[in-house]
Amino acid sequence: MAVPARGFYLLGDRVSRMLAQGGSAVLPGVPGADRRVFRGFRSSGVRHDAIIISGTEMARQIQKEIQRGVESWISLGNRRPHLSIILVGDNPASHTYVRKKIRAASAVGICSEIVLKPKDVSQEELLDVTDQLNMDPSVSGILVQLPLPDHVDERTVCNGIAPEKDVDGFHIINIGRLCLDQHSLIPATASAVWEIIKRTGIETFGKNVVVAGRSKNVGMPIAMLLHTDGEHERPGGDATVTIAHRYTPKEQLKIHTQLADVIIVAAGMQNVKMSKSPPKHSGGRVKMATKSLIFLPLKSGLSVLLNPSGFCHCFTGRI
């Protein structure tokens, strides 16, 4: 592995979590409500109003940590990390996401470039591009902005990226290492959820967790991170995890969520109905609950965490 690629390997999963930011935080009904908070919540027997956690503040903190890491890496005589993004076609959403990734990379001192290809590009040409980037020692990380056109097989293209340069963590080797509790680059949203859990002090050891959603890029890696052994090479959450999906009967879903200590809604769709709901605030219609809940309506930009003591932790800002 080239030295700059190794540096990006160490930084890449944290960079991924920084790619989208937004939202603000207040503490309604809590003294010092003007103070922004994003970590350190613990259980208590007292019921409180909603605590809204600032995604923006958490992102700023992580950004500073990555920035320091990049500069430290360079000070040791290493090459500045370089990210190459392959963008196919003219999908407005894809172009927006890529612009945000470029800005996020720049903010932490990482060089980046866009490799733009027309929507009728052949799969063979895309694989040629990934081969060239894989062999380029100046390129530390590579990602292919999804979705790709229908005539291109996304799995084949993602597997065409060298695992150590696979910033999205979609290569079959990185997925396999994730499943074996080994160090790897982890898909961004799953890594973000795990970081939020750690930084906010949500307890997962010995807890029952329901993950609503089984996508290979979000639901599955979240479940893998949460159920695996906390003492393995890549520590996990030591939770008992149940994965629910579109074909889980509603009555069974209700039972699972009633038994759960932690619920993670990663269905990628709106109007998902659970037996417990997040608390009401300006971001949407929700009710107080007594579960730990991480709510990821990926299109609305609201995430919510609740712990068993009755605290309601609302995480604002897109993951």
Per the CB < 8 A criterion, the answer to whether 84 and 53 are in contact is: no
Q: Whole-angstrom Cα distance, residue 90 to residue 237? A: 40
Q: Which amino acid is at 55?
A: G
Q: Which amino acid is at 187?
A: P
Higher pLDDT, 127 or 8: 127
> Would you state the pLDDT for residue 267?
66
With cut-offs at 50, 70 and 90, classify the pLDDT of residue 81.
very high
Contacts of 136 by beta carbon, 8 Å cutoff, 6+ apart: none
Residue ranges of alpha helices (H) inside 228-267 are 250-259
Per the CB < 8 A criterion, the answer to whether 294 and 304 are in contact is: yes
Residue 142 backbone dihedrals phi, psi, to 5 degrees: -135, 140
Q: Whole-angstrom Cα distance, residue 80 to residue 82? A: 6
pTM over 0.85: no
Q: Whole-angstrom Cα distance, residue 173 to residue 154? A: 15
Q: Whole-angstrom Cα distance, residue 180 to residue 97? A: 30
Q: Whole-angstrom Cα distance, residue 315 to residue 23? A: 9
Mean per-residue pLDDT, 255-279: 66
User: Mean of the per-residue pLDDT values for the chain?
Assistant: 75
Q: Whole-angstrom Cα distance, residue 40 to residue 147? A: 37
With cut-offs at 50, 70 and 90, classify the pLDDT of residue 29.
very low
Max mean pLDDT range (11-20, 223-232, 303-312)? 223-232
> Would you state the pLDDT for residue 293?
56
> In 3D, which of 295, 256, 39, 83 has the Cα closest to residue 185?
83
- pLDDT tens per residue, range 161-185: 999 999 999 999 999 999 999 999 9
Q: Whole-angstrom Cα distance, residue 178 to residue 169? A: 9
> Would you state the pLDDT for residue 258?
84
Contacts of 193 by beta carbon, 8 Å cutoff, 6+ apart: 222, 225, 264, 266, 294, 296, 319
Max mean pLDDT range (24-38, 57-71, 137-151)? 137-151
Q: Whole-angstrom Cα distance, residue 193 to residue 217? A: 12
Is pLDDT at 139 greater than 80 in this prediction? yes
Find how far residue 159's CA is from the centre of its chain.
20
> In 3D, which of 101, 86, 95, 79 has the Cα closest to residue 16?
101
